[in-house]
A and B are shown apart, each in its own frame.
Chain A
Amino acid sequence: MMKKIDVKKKMIFFGILVVLLLLFSVFCDYLTPYDPNEQDLSIAKQAPSAEHLFGTDRYGRDMLSRVIVGSKASIFSTLLLVAIITVIGTIIGIICGLSGKVVDVVLMRIADIFLAFPGLVFALAIAGVLGGGLHNAIIALAAVSWPKFARLARSQTLAIKEEPYIEASKLAGTSTIKMVFKHILPNIIGPILVTGVLDIGTMMMELAGLSFLGLGAKPPIAEWGSMMSDNRSMLATQPWIVLTPGIAIFVSVMIFNLFGDTLRDFADPKSSRRK
């Protein structure tokens, strides 16, 4: 019981951090000390100082402002990506779980094909074909990441579809759509949401990875992965230009991962005890 209370406290603490991070991203445009896109070549590559806390990049843009504004592209793109794969995966999983037979076999074999390739490599190939840009990077990662949620939703649906209350609902003449929203979804959404939250950190890293490889945000949009990529040749000479967005990724991924972990422990105390 004490353990559960501890977990709850942790979850609330990390939940608050997540909310703060999201609020920070929402209002980031109002928090920047300088225009993040304004170039001033006369102050290019300045080391961190009182005037520019994170220094300036090769175009003389304030790094602190760019890191702050970069949170919007980095965090919201990740949330959008996770939302897309969660929704699409869940819909496909429920369809498979409920319909069975040919539809299930076909959709699950398609999911197997996507799972057969290493995720990031496959995403790289898709992003390469679609071309650069944050939207295409999101599409590429979504294309390779939905099967995990489809499998989870399918297994959960299969587990509860034989439950007496579902049978009773069927006998009462409830339509399939109504049954899904009233009985199935509320009972399977817990593990899916936990998995989704746990995936935010991973997806943020993968999105930053694609951006780092030049397949993400286009200039002058500030996005942490592409900021690291664009400036990586200065790692040895002006390290702050590369390290500051890197630290931002590290902190954000850590907050989301820790929140996801405690959320999982809270939702499933058995797994926490097993640890």
Chain B
Amino acid sequence: MKKKITMLVAVLMVAVLAVGCSCQGGSKSSANKTMVIGDTTFNSENSEESVNPHNTYNGWACIRYGIGETLVHYTDDMNLEPWIANKWENDGGNNWTITLNDNVKFSNGKAVDAAAVKECFEHMIQAHDRAPSDTKIASMEANGNVLKITTSEPNPALMNYLGDPYACIIDMQSSNMEQGIVTGTGPYVVQEMVTDDHLTLTPNTNYWNGTPKLSKLTIKTISDGDTLSAALQTGDIDAAYGMAYEAYPNFENNKYQFSSIQTSRTFFTSMNMESPVISDKAVREAIAYGINKEGFVNTLLNGHGVVGAGAFPDGFSNFGGDKVKNAKKYNPETAKATLEAAGWVDTDGDGIREKNGQKLTIKWLTYPSRQELPLLAESAQASLKDIGINVEINNTANHKQFRKDKSSWDIYASALVTAPSGDPLYFFTTSCLPGSDYNYAGYDNPNVTKLVGDLSKEFDATKRGEIAVKLQDEILADDAYVFCSFLQMNLISKSNVKNYTAHACDYYEVTADLDIE
């Protein structure tokens, strides 16, 4: 009897253990496939607190997690291909005609027609901070599946912008904009959302473009890179976005797989033109020569990146960094000579140069949520010290507050996707024009302003590329920005995960093809 009880207890313990194990990560039964993705970016610190595409950068979550879709889709060469729209044409001026696929449905079963798209875009223009100036939509006319858009001025990049996450097509009638939960056309729908914790998704039974493979998908917010690494190793999550480079060796074996692609997310520095030190052209030039970009990419990023030259990666469309002439490569000797010629000399032998009694010290502002930026700061601190520049680093999550006070920084190092829609105009209009949203440094060059005007009106792709290259050469000649590197995005997943694929645009992480065995 005692033996039987012992056996029974042992069997029960094994059963409990088996159940416990099966609760970790994804369930693999074909009828009930669940998957958990750990993500460092889905949080309020990163301006992604919900999936409402019309609010700041929340659209990235909407499109990344398969909730929303846009009229057009970017290929990995950042060219456009049909998605919800099947064709579009421009009359050479302000008028666009966009024809929608006739089988697209929202997740609530309602058909997507031009009237629904018009209603969505009207709200987007009213609510989103970048959409009105990007799209320049003046009026719209809906007729069945045909949407006619008139822009306030010629806008050759309109369709590129309509592929941006903020232009996800959502049903304005059933979306809860206050809670940030929207009804889209993607393969998954929101079941539960707890900001900064998790997002639970279930399959869209009305999906128009395939059959979602998972019965439940959880996006778990894990802002700390070490926790993310531990979670993937213990099996609490099945896939990870935003893994720290140092953790990669843990996953370089047959239990895991990497999906990698080059992106146009650059790690770059903006030079504060109002700073007395930085306004000296020689100092800017010396800094551009003094940052060891190759060392940063090859050693600190373990080679998971591309050394920057211009505002776009080498080989990017017809305006990549390989086409610019004025990019500066790491050359400490030239940097020293430039400073020497400008009168910056180390007179007291402490290794830091002076001019008119003023030490050459620069305040470097950056933030920790992009793991590459603190590494860039500390690497630049050492390489710039070699040429006689003292760098004081302020690496703070509160960088937006410091950024407003121009006297608190000389260089602002940040990360930006320079061509989120595959078109070059975005970077220049947001970062290089006086008063533009991301021109924190106060850069103002009339030639650049004129060229941006030309680019915004030019429809011919070849000429657009030429203007974009000229623009990059202008800002590099001014040493207004130093483009240090471009991100190679790596998604890591367990080997039993299928189609968790990185895309150049960083948007389409979850698709109907995502699966787990």
Q: Give chain B nearest CB distance to A52 CB in angstroms.
A: 16
Set of chain B residues within 8 Å of A237, measured between Cβ atoms: 246-247, 249-250
Report B-chain residues with C-beta under 8 Å of the C-beta of A214. Answer: 368
Decide if B225 is an interface residue (CB 8 Å cutoff).
yes
For window 351-395 of chain B, which residues contact chain A by CB distance below 8 Å? 368, 374-375, 377-379, 381-383, 392-395
B137-145, B210-218, B292-300 - interface stretch: B292-300
Q: Is B172 an interface residue (CB 8 A)?
A: no
Q: Is B229 an interface residue (CB 8 A)?
A: yes
In the bound complex, residues from chain B placing their C-beta under 8 Å from that of A132 are 395-396
Q: Are A131 and B299 in contact (CB under 8 A)?
A: no
Check B300–A59 contact: CB distance below 8 A.
Answer: yes
**How far, in whole Å, are A38 and B381 apart by their CA atoms in the complex?**
10
**A-chain residues with CB within 8 Å of residue B298 when the two chains form the complex:** 41
Q: 1/0 per residue B209-231: CB within 8 Å of A?
A: 00000000000000001100100
Chain B residues, CB < 8 A from A42: 299
Which residues of A sit under 8 angstroms from B382, Cβ to Cβ?
Answer: 37-39, 59, 220
> Inside 8 A of A60's CB, which chain B residues have their CB?
299
In the complex, the answer to whether B377 meets A219 with C-beta atoms within 8 Å is yes
CB-defined contacts of A218 to chain B, threshold 8 Å? 392-395
Digitize B277-294: 1 where CB-to-A-CB distance is under 8 Å, 0 elsewhere.
Answer: 000000000000000100
A-side interface residues, number (CB < 8 Å): 22
Are A219 and B247 neighbours in the complex by a CB distance under 8 Å? no
Q: Is B244 an interface residue (CB 8 A)?
A: yes
Contacts A132-B396, A219-B393 known; A59 to B225 CB distance under 8 Å? no
User: Do B250 and A219 have beta carbons less than 8 Å apart?
Assistant: no
In the complex the two chains form, is B226's CB within 8 Å of A232's CB? yes
Chain A: minimal CB distance from B123 (Å): 37
- A71–B69 alpha-carbon span in the complex (Å): 56
Given contacts A39-B379, A219-B378, A220-B378, contact A58 B300 (CB under 8 A): yes
Chain A residues contacting B247 (CB-CB under 8 Å) are: 233, 236-237
Q: Contact check: which of A37, A41, A234 meets B246 at CB < 8 Å? A: A234
CB neighbours (8 Å) of B226 from chain A are: 232-233, 235
Chain A contacts for B246, CB-based, 8 A: 58, 233-234, 237-238
A38 to B247, CA, bound (A): 25
* A248 part of interface (Cβ distance < 8 Å): no
User: Which residues of chain A from 1 to 59 have a CB within 8 Å of any chain B CB?
Assistant: 37-39, 41-42, 44, 58-59
Q: Which residue of A lies closest to B292 (CB)?
A: A41
Interface string of B227-254 (1 = CB under 8 A from A): 0010000000000000010110110000
Residues in A neighbouring B292, C-beta threshold 8 A: 41
A27, chain B: closest CB distance, angstroms:
21
Would A59 and B250 count as touching, CB distance under 8 A? Answer: no
**How far, in Å, is A66 (CB) from chain B's closest CB?**
13
Q: How far is the CB of A189 from chain B (nearest CB, A)?
A: 41
- Supposing A38-B382, A41-B292 touch, asked if A233 and B244 sit within 8 A by C-beta, the answer is yes
Closest to B298 in A: A41
Q: Flag B298-338 by CB within 8 Å of A: 1 or 0 each.
A: 11100000000000000000000000000000000000000
Residues of A within 8 A of B381 (CB): 219-220
State the CA gap A209–B256 with chains docked (Å): 34
User: How many Å lie between the Cα of A44 and that of B300 in the bound state?
Assistant: 9
In the complex, chain B residues whose CB is within 8 Å of the CB of A219:
374, 377-378, 381, 393, 395
Chain B nearest CB from A227 CB (Å) reads 12
Q: How far is the CA of A233 from the CA of B250 in the complex (A)?
A: 11
B300 & A41 in contact (Cβ 8 Å cutoff): yes
A59 to B249 CA separation, bound complex (whole angstroms): 18
The chain B residue with its CB closest to the CB of A218 is B393
Residues of B contacting A236 in the complex (Cβ-Cβ under 8 angstroms): 229, 247, 249-250
* Cα–Cα, bound, A73→B292 (Å): 29
Tell me if B229 and A233 are in contact (CB < 8 A): yes
What is the CA–CA distance of A220 and B295 in the complex, to the nearest angstrom?
18
Of all chain B residues, which has the CB nearest A131?
Answer: B396
Contact B295 A41 (CB under 8 A): yes
Query: How many angstroms from the CA of A42 to the CA of B229 in the assembled complex?
Result: 26
The distance from the CB of A211 to the nearest CB of chain B, in whole angstroms, is 13
Name B382's closest neighbour in chain A (CB-CB). A39
- B368 contacts across to A, CB distance below 8 A: 214
Indicate with 1 or 0, residue by residue over A203-243, a CB within 8 angstroms of chain B CB atoms.
Answer: 00000000000100011100000000000111111100000
A233 adjacent to B396 (CB under 8 Å): no
The 0/1 profile, CB within 8 Å of B marked 1, for residues 119-155 of chain A is: 0000000000001100000000000000000000000
In the bound assembly, the distance between CA atoms of A226 and B297 in angstroms comes to: 23
Interface string of A144-185 (1 = CB under 8 A from B): 000000000000000000000000000000000000000000
- Can you give 20 contacting A-B residue pairs, CB < 8 Å? A38-B382, A39-B383, A41-B295, A41-B298, A41-B300, A42-B299, A44-B299, A44-B300, A58-B300, A59-B379, A59-B382, A132-B395, A214-B368, A218-B392, A219-B381, A220-B382, A233-B225, A235-B226, A236-B247, A237-B249
Chain A interfacial positions (CB closer than 8 Å to B): 37-39, 41-42, 44, 58-60, 131-132, 214, 218-220, 232-238
Closest 5 CB pairs of A and B: A41-B299, A39-B382, A41-B295, A233-B246, A233-B244
Question: Which B residues fall within an 8 A CB radius of A?
Answer: 225-226, 229, 244, 246-247, 249-250, 292, 295, 298-300, 368, 374-375, 377-379, 381-383, 392-396, 398
Given contacts A58-B375, A132-B396, A237-B246, 13 further A-B contacts (CB under 8 A): A41-B292, A44-B300, A58-B299, A58-B300, A59-B378, A218-B392, A218-B393, A218-B395, A219-B378, A219-B393, A220-B378, A233-B225, A233-B229
